[in-house]
Amino acid sequence: MFDRVLVANRGEIAIRVFRTLRALGIASVAVFTDADAGARHVREADEAARVPSYLDLDAVIEAARATGAEAVHPGYGFLAENTAFARACADAGIVFIGPPAAAIEAMGDKIRAKQTVAAAGVPVVPGRDEAGLTDGELAAAALDVGLPVLLKPSAGGGGKGMRLVRDAADLPEAIASARREARASFGDDTLLVERFVANPRHIEIQVFADAHGHVVHLGERECSLQRRHQKIIEEAPSPLLDEATRERMGASAVAAARAVGYVGAGTVEYIVSADRPGEYFFMEMNTRLQVEHPVTELVTGLDLVELQLRAAAGEPLPFTQDDVALRGHSIEARVYAEDPARGFLPTGGRVLALSEPSGDHVRVDSGLDAGTEVGGSYDPMLAKVIVWAPDRAGALRRLDRALASYTLLGVGTNVAFLRALLRHPDVEAGRLDTGLVERSLEELTGEATVPDEVFAAAALERVLALETGDPDPWAIPDGWRPGAPARTPWIITPSGGEPVEVGVRGRAHDAEVTVGGNAPVRASLADGPSPLTLTYGARTLSYEAARDGHTLWLGRGGHAWALAEHVRAEGGGAAAVAGDGVLRSPMPGTVLAVKVAEGDRVGEGQPLVVVEAMKMEHTVTAPIAGVVTRLPARAGAQVALDAVLAIIEAEEG
């Protein structure tokens, strides 16, 4: 076994690997970029080395040499499936904790992968996958296979360059756009065409192999809950498969692994018809540890990272296929820095407060702690919440309760969306397919409306902060006037929303609160910075709270609200400060382009600024027609969420 291992990754997966290294008494080495100098994974390693980029394979290998690491664990993403990196490690005399470079290469090209596994008897989706198909040949193949079809890039993954075509008239443009995106994303515009499976489910088989010819599978994971081909919730085992189908798919996955001389952890992904679960087709093989590996660990009782280390060190697998048993049910939810109510745009910021779930059979793989800066340079996944229970219904309940106790203030997340998804009737019943999330987006994001009691808590928090305790009624900010208390208006704007006027009559401990145009409600707020305890009508609610300048963050039940306070209004109300012509950044990121100048006349809906974050571009358009009077946005500049990019004033008449 190794004495020292370098982990060529960051965030939650680096910390996850460190946990197993510590358990085995192996020293850990982290790498980090300048942006991650203060990151948690750097502090938790025994030693750390700076690299210019996590993708700089020469720098990573030099860091391994300099720190005396005998092996490198690549995690997932970055260099995990980089054939050149696996070969460079071997050339440097450093063990790559992953499959042989030849296996990565064989499975990294979708066309070659399909041909390889088909030769081993693995069922593949009907289609055409010869290299070098012209646009005309692709169109003809699509018609031969039968519409609808999927156009897919041979290189890369993550849904980039993929197009679903249902109508023959759409084929030319779909092929052209798929080629453009594939070329831009992977430097290779080779496409293949496959039959589109109706009501598809995404089910993958975890395989493991040692260097002595032993290959086993560890059961399946259901990964059908996706958005834009990005997994959101995964579980093991699948609620669809029976034992006979599981055995057939497992044997198929083992055959695929043997076909390329596989060693280590790998995942063979299948598309399965929800209507005909006995019909499954090979999609691709991921030649690395998967993000969702914890659910397999919890139902098998195995540590997959430990198995990776032992296989890389040349040890044989300590069990056979007959020893593998799946016990109970496990579900994982991915926590992303994104805002579901705003089209899942990336968020970011500094973690002001963090409370992660705990308890029996609850696991959190996380790279966060209070003070972490979440920027737009890397993947938006922050953490994973994983649970186990004796059955699926119990696992769903346990995960929902775990997410309800998840509090992250300072960075918007998808936690409330995850809870809504878990309670969807089709999810509860196990009626899953890869289109379920997209079909249900409106109902799943419907809870994005900020409740009145949250606005009340924010306004009373300001009243409480300003109260001095001076018995002089003129010194108390409660709107007191001779004869009767007056109503004090506060203007509060939720992130991405419209300003709301909240009227407060009285003091924080005994007030009458009016939110918007609704009827007044008796309310009170107890002392204490966090949690804040609010009594609102007949309800008493507690909120975790953190303040960042003029913005108050409140969290409860997996929800988190960022509430910006404007100056107290003496009149005019929310409409006076609504700022209809204020153009704000929908996400933290980098300004790629500014398409106007100060003094320009613009029309409503005209593109003005392009912002990029986490590999996503967003064009911000003019909310009204008028004249650009201020333009703080500058190309290349970093901007925060809701930062003012431009101000437009409507022209009279």
Predicted local distance difference test score (pLDDT) of residue 571: 42
Q: Does residue 397 sit in the same domain as residue 482?
A: no
Q: Is residue 512 in some structural domain?
A: yes
Q: Does residue 257 sit in the same domain as residue 155?
A: no
Q: Does residue 505 sit in the same domain as residue 415?
A: no
Q: Does residue 145 sit in the same domain as residue 210?
A: no
Predicted local distance difference test score (pLDDT) of residue 580: 61
- Among the ranges 165-169, 386-390, 475-479, 643-647, which has the highest mean pLDDT value? 386-390
Out of 50-59, 75-84, 387-396, 636-645, least confident range: 636-645
Cα 176 to Cα 152, 159, 182, 189, 418: the distances in Å are: 12, 16, 10, 10, 35
What CA–CA distance (Å, rounded) separates 493 from 453?
A: 14
Predicted local distance difference test score (pLDDT) of residue 418: 97
Q: Is residue 111 in some structural domain?
A: no
497 phi and psi angles, rounded to 5 deg = -115, -175
Predicted local distance difference test score (pLDDT) of residue 30: 98
Predicted local distance difference test score (pLDDT) of residue 477: 54
What CA–CA distance (Å, rounded) separates 549 from 560?
A: 17
Q: Helix (H, G, I), strand (E, B), or coil: what is residue 99?
A: coil
How many folded domains does the chain comprise?
6
Q: What is the CATH number of the domain that holds 41?
A: 3.40.50.20
Predicted local distance difference test score (pLDDT) of residue 486: 67
Long-range contacts of 286-289 (CB under 8 A, 24+ apart): 286/81, 286/107, 286/204, 287/80, 287/81, 287/98, 287/99, 287/103, 287/104, 287/107, 287/108, 287/262, 288/74, 288/75, 288/76, 288/80, 288/81, 288/98, 289/13, 289/75, 289/76, 289/80, 289/265
Q: Does residue 402 sit in the same domain as residue 492?
A: no
Q: What angle do CA 251, 255, 258 make, to 5 degrees?
A: 135
Strands (E) across 337-430 are located at: 338-339, 345-346, 349-350, 353-355, 362-366, 373-374, 381-389, 407-409
Per-residue buried b or exposed e for 155-164, using 16+ beta carbons within 10 Å of the residue's own CB: bbbeebbbbe
SS3 per residue for 442-474: HHHCHHHCCCHHHHHHHHHHHHHHHCCCCCCHH
Question: Shortest CA distance to 245 belongs to which of 277, 271, 222?
Answer: 277
Q: Is residue 109 in some structural domain?
A: no
SS3 per residue for 577-638: HCCCCEEECCCCEEEEEECCCCCCEECCCCEEEEEEECCEEEEEECCCCEEEEECCCCCCCE
Q: Tell whether the torsion through CA atoms of 211, 213, 214 and 216 is positive or negative.
A: positive
**Is the per-residue pLDDT at 479 higher than 80?**
no
| Span 57-77, pLDDT tens digits | 999 999 999 999 999 999 998
Predicted local distance difference test score (pLDDT) of residue 22: 98
Domain that holds residue 185: 127-195
Predicted local distance difference test score (pLDDT) of residue 567: 44
Q: Does residue 461 sit in the same domain as residue 557?
A: yes
Question: Shortest CA distance to 406 belongs to which of 376, 432, 382, 431?
Answer: 382
Greater confidence (149 vs 277) lies with 149
What is the arithmetic mean of pLDDT over 124-148? 90
Q: Are 444 and 421 in contact (CB under 8 A)?
A: yes
Predicted local distance difference test score (pLDDT) of residue 278: 83
Q: Does residue 511 sit in the same domain as residue 610?
A: no
Confidence of residue 274 (pLDDT cuts 50, 70, 90): confident
**Domain end point (choices 174, 195, 216):** 195
**Is the per-residue pLDDT at 93 higher than 90?**
yes
Q: Is residue 113 in some structural domain?
A: no
Question: Shortest CA distance to 157 belongs to which of 231, 238, 102?
Answer: 231
Give the chain's count of helices (H) and strands (E).
18, 41
Confidence of residue 430 (pLDDT cuts 50, 70, 90): very high
Greater confidence (163 vs 590) lies with 163
Length of the chain: 653
Predicted local distance difference test score (pLDDT) of residue 574: 47
Confidence of residue 581 (pLDDT cuts 50, 70, 90): confident
Predicted local distance difference test score (pLDDT) of residue 196: 87
**Is the per-residue pLDDT at 410 higher than 90?**
yes
Q: Is residue 238 in some structural domain?
A: yes
Q: Does residue 308 sit in the same domain as residue 414?
A: no
Q: Does residue 251 sit in the same domain as residue 316?
A: yes
**Domain end point (choices 413, 429, 448):** 448
Q: Are 287 and 99 in contact (CB under 8 A)?
A: yes
Q: Is residue 106 in some structural domain?
A: no
Average pLDDT of every residue of the chain:
90
| Span 542-580, pLDDT tens digits | 999 999 888 899 999 999 999 988 644 344 444 444 446
Orientation of helix 11-23 relative to helix 304-312, angle to 10° = 70
Structure tokens at 186: 């992977």
Q: Are 324 and 296 in contact (CB under 8 A)?
A: no
Predicted local distance difference test score (pLDDT) of residue 367: 95
Q: What is the CATH number of the domain that holds 461?
A: 3.30.700.30
Helix residue ranges, H only, 467-562: none
What CA–CA distance (Å, rounded) separates 648 from 598?
A: 9
**Domain end point (choices 542, 576, 610):** 576
Q: Helix (H, G, I), strand (E, B), or coil: what is residue 504?
A: strand
Confidence of residue 653 (pLDDT cuts 50, 70, 90): low
| Span 308-319, pLDDT tens digits | 999 999 999 999
Q: Are 320 and 410 in contact (CB under 8 A)?
A: no
Strands (E) across 228-259 are located at: 230-236
Q: Which residues pair with 560 in a beta bridge?
A: 555
Q: Tell whether the torsion through CA atoms of 374, 41, 267 and 205 is positive or negative.
A: negative
What is the arithmetic mean of pLDDT over 339-345? 87
Predicted local distance difference test score (pLDDT) of residue 563: 93
Greater confidence (468 vs 440) lies with 440
Q: Does residue 572 sit in the same domain as residue 584?
A: no
**Is the per-residue pLDDT at 87 higher than 90?**
yes
Structure tokens at 433: 């397919």
Out of 141-145, 160-164, 249-253, least confident range: 160-164
Q: What is the CATH number of the domain that holds 246?
A: 3.30.470.20
**Is the per-residue pLDDT at 131 higher than 90?**
no
What is the arithmetic mean of pLDDT over 296-306? 98
Q: Does residue 468 sit in the same domain as residue 568?
A: yes
**Is the per-residue pLDDT at 459 higher than 60?**
yes
Predicted local distance difference test score (pLDDT) of residue 576: 42
Q: Does residue 458 sit in the same domain as residue 431?
A: no
Out of 181-190, 430-439, 515-524, least confident range: 181-190
Query: What residue type is 68 in one-letter code?
Result: G
Confidence of residue 472 (pLDDT cuts 50, 70, 90): very low
Q: Is residue 155 in some structural domain?
A: yes
What is the arithmetic mean of pLDDT over 396-405? 98
Q: Is residue 353 in some structural domain?
A: yes
Predicted local distance difference test score (pLDDT) of residue 474: 43
Q: What is the CATH number of the domain that holds 169?
A: 3.30.1490.20
**Is the per-residue pLDDT at 142 higher than 80?**
yes
